[in-house]
Structure 1
Amino acid sequence: MADITLTDRAARRITEIMATEPAGSHLRISVNGGGCSGFQYAFDVDRTRQDDDLVIEKNGATVVVDEVSIQYMDGSVIDFVDDLIGQSFKIENPHATASCGCGTSFSL
């Protein structure tokens, strides 16, 4: 089973975002080809789950990751940062050999 961790800060922010969405909504994180470094993370509000999705729950927040993306994200930590350049979700991925300044693109 994949090991993807959600920090308390990320769970808190996801809960805030989902409070304005329809009941049953959750955050879907996926890995797609593209971006400045080869792969990029996509963050979407979704109301559906697939049988092979990994479901991560913490403090009332729910994140789902599709089966293909799990292999690229295993061992990752999903965090939420609020710094001088803005607020964003940040994924610390042990498989990424490089990432770009935007924080949503990486290479393996």
Structure 2
Amino acid sequence: MTITITPAANERMRHFLANTPAAAGVRFGVKRTGCSGFAYVVDLAESIGEGDQVVDVDGLSLIVNDKSLAMVEGTVIDFQRQGLNASFVFHNPNATGECGCGESFTVS
């Protein structure tokens, strides 16, 4: 599995992990939602479940479930600040389209 985390995203994820030392790592995946079909999910993982893949990305445990893996393979996760807004930004080579608001995407 190849997922890249930029230094800005890595720092942000480590900040959340530092505040929750019991977390197993950062969970990254997708859920069905939005106007285009799927939305990204980034959250702290309480545990590693059956069907989860764990990847070490620059010393950070990234946990991806098997159902999401094909849709997020090759994704670059970034963290950007624009004015008062701050969010994770995803550059996914598997996405074939996105909704106008950028909240969801499609894959073929």
Confirm or deny a common fold (TM above 0.5).
Answer: yes
Q: How many residues align?
A: 107
CA distance in 2, matches of 1:58, 1:75: 13
2:40 counterpart residue number = 41
2:16 counterpart residue number = 17
Distance change (3 Å), C-alpha of 1:95 and 1:69: same
CA distance in 2, matches of 1:96, 1:70: 13
2:105 counterpart residue number = 106
TM-score normalized with structure 2 length: 0.84
| CA-based RMSD | 1.9
Q: Residues 49-72 of structure 1: CA distance to partner in whole angstroms, max 9, x if unpaired?
A: 135423233444322111110110
CA distance in 1, matches of 2:99, 2:83: 17
CA distance in 1, matches of 2:80, 2:100: 14
- Which structure 1 segments of 5+ residues have no match? none
1:70 counterpart residue number = 69
Percent identity for Structure 1 against Structure 2: 36
CA distance in 2, matches of 1:100, 1:71: 20
TM-score normalized with structure 1 length: 0.84
1:12–1:61 Cα contact (<8 Å) kept: no
1:76–1:92 Cα contact (<8 Å) kept: yes
- Which structure 2 segments of 5+ residues have no match? none
CA distance in 2, matches of 1:84, 1:100: 23
